[in-house]
A and B are shown apart, each in its own frame.
Chain A
Amino acid sequence: MTGLIILVTFIGLVIVSLAAITQKKLADSIILFMGVGLGSVVLFFIFKAPDVALTEAVIGAGISSLIFLMALKHLGEQK
């Protein structure tokens, strides 16, 4: 069961990453990047690294994506 979860998460992670780098709109790309962070949280937790999982959830998927979105908003006004 754990192996199945790992396999599904890993394949999903690869698909979401590929989707993130092929998006036309930058906002969609950032949202998918957040999804990559959440998938890696699941992987870290399964591989018994809850500290790293918490850090990734808070910093990787939370704050850094919000900072990207703020920067994107700032860039969009200048276009």
Chain B
Amino acid sequence: MSVKKISLKRELPTTTLSGFALSGLLVLTILNILLQNMPSKIQTAGDALLKLNATEGVANAVTTVVVFFRGFDTLGEIAVLFIASLGIGLMLHSNSKCNIKAESNFMLQTASKLLFPIILLFGTYVMIYGHLSPGGGFQGGVIIASGVLLLLISHKAFEVPHSVIVALETFAGVSYVLIGLIGLLVLDVFLGNFLPHDISQMGLLLSGGIIPLVYIIVGIKVGSEMSMIVQNLIQRDHDV
């Protein structure tokens, strides 16, 4: 029997081997952590948060988790959205104001005049009642941005003024961090709930301390950023 000789002409490069080794090490570490924490700690994380929810006096438990227990994450998400808006503005914004928008249909113009106040009202409702009913800042802000999109499509001369967007976005971002810092000063916790949040007030519009305030701020920021993204896309769309 003749054994076929396999000649290893091309050896594996060391970078590939070390990459494989590093990935294997990472997988083993994650598996180890998962196996050690599997039985009790992971399964009860949600239950512990739900038990704590009643202490904040907010009817919608999801809002408590998103804005209060994970409030710092929400700040990071808003920063990510801001960076996305910044990138789209940098890449697509054009100084030449020669956007040739097509004249839209008469029906679309009339309907958008009727619909825009209703969309604005619904978005504001979703934003303000975020701590009582499903919804909140992100959803309400995007609803308002879709109303702006309707106006941008239907009206040729409509444009959201840049100064208004800058003012709203700056106000929202600064006041989010300020609320967090006041909580840090008063309660030694960033984004601590320093306003009165009695559990007997649960279900009222003025309840939950800073949580509705923070969600309204998130809504203003998301709404202005999404409006800017949509406006940049539309103008670029008609520019070329």
Contacts of B87 in A (CB 8 A): none
Alpha-carbon gap, A74 to B239, bound state (A)? 10
Alpha-carbon gap, A78 to B237, bound state (A)? 11
Complex partner residue of A67 from B63, B139, B233, CB under 8 angstroms: B233
Give 1 or 0 for each of B130-159: 1 = CB within 8 Å of chain A CB.
000011101100110110010000000000
Complex partner residue of B135 from A51, A70, A77, CB under 8 angstroms: A51
Number of A interface residues at 8 Å Cβ cutoff, please give it. 17
Contacts of A62 in B (CB 8 A): 142, 146
- List residues 29-79 of chain A with CB under 8 A from any CB of chain B: 50-51, 53-55, 58-59, 62-63, 66-67, 70-71, 73-74, 77-78
Residue in A closest to B134 when the chains form the complex, CB atoms: A50
Contacts of A78 in B (CB 8 A): 240
* Shortest beta-carbon distance from A18 to chain B in Å: 28
Residue pair A55, B139 in contact (C-beta under 8 Å): yes
Complex partner residue of A53 from B134, B143, B236, CB under 8 angstroms: B134
Residue in A closest to B149 when the chains form the complex, CB atoms: A66
- List residues 53-105 of chain B with CB under 8 A from any CB of chain A: 60, 62-63
Tell me the dominant secondary structure on chain B's binding face: helix
Assess whether B206 is interfacial by the CB under 8 Å rule: no
Count A-B pairs with CB separation below 8 Å.
Answer: 45
Alpha-carbon gap, A54 to B136, bound state (A)? 9
Residue in A closest to B62 when the chains form the complex, CB atoms: A51
Residue in A closest to B133 when the chains form the complex, CB atoms: A50
Residue pair A63, B145 in contact (C-beta under 8 Å): yes
Chain B interface residue count: which class? 20 to 34
Complex partner residue of B146 from A51, A55, A58, A70, CB under 8 angstroms: A58
Alpha-carbon gap, A54 to B142, bound state (A)? 11
* Shortest beta-carbon distance from A74 to chain B in Å: 6
Alpha-carbon gap, A51 to B134, bound state (A)? 5
* Shortest beta-carbon distance from A38 to chain B in Å: 15
Contacts of A59 in B (CB 8 A): 138-139, 142
Assess whether B234 is interfacial by the CB under 8 Å rule: yes
Alpha-carbon gap, A30 to B201, bound state (A)? 46
Alpha-carbon gap, A54 to B127, bound state (A)? 12
* Shortest beta-carbon distance from B229 to chain A in Å: 8
Residue pair A70, B233 in contact (C-beta under 8 Å): yes
What residues make up the interface of A, taking CB atoms closer than 8 Å to B? Answer: 50-51, 53-55, 58-59, 62-63, 66-67, 70-71, 73-74, 77-78
5 closest A-B pairs by beta carbon, nearest first, are A50-B134, A51-B62, A58-B142, A51-B134, A54-B139
Known A53-B134, A55-B139, A63-B230; further 16 A-B contacts with Cβ < 8 A: A51-B63, A54-B134, A54-B135, A54-B139, A58-B139, A58-B142, A58-B146, A59-B142, A62-B146, A63-B146, A63-B149, A66-B149, A66-B230, A73-B237, A74-B236, A78-B240
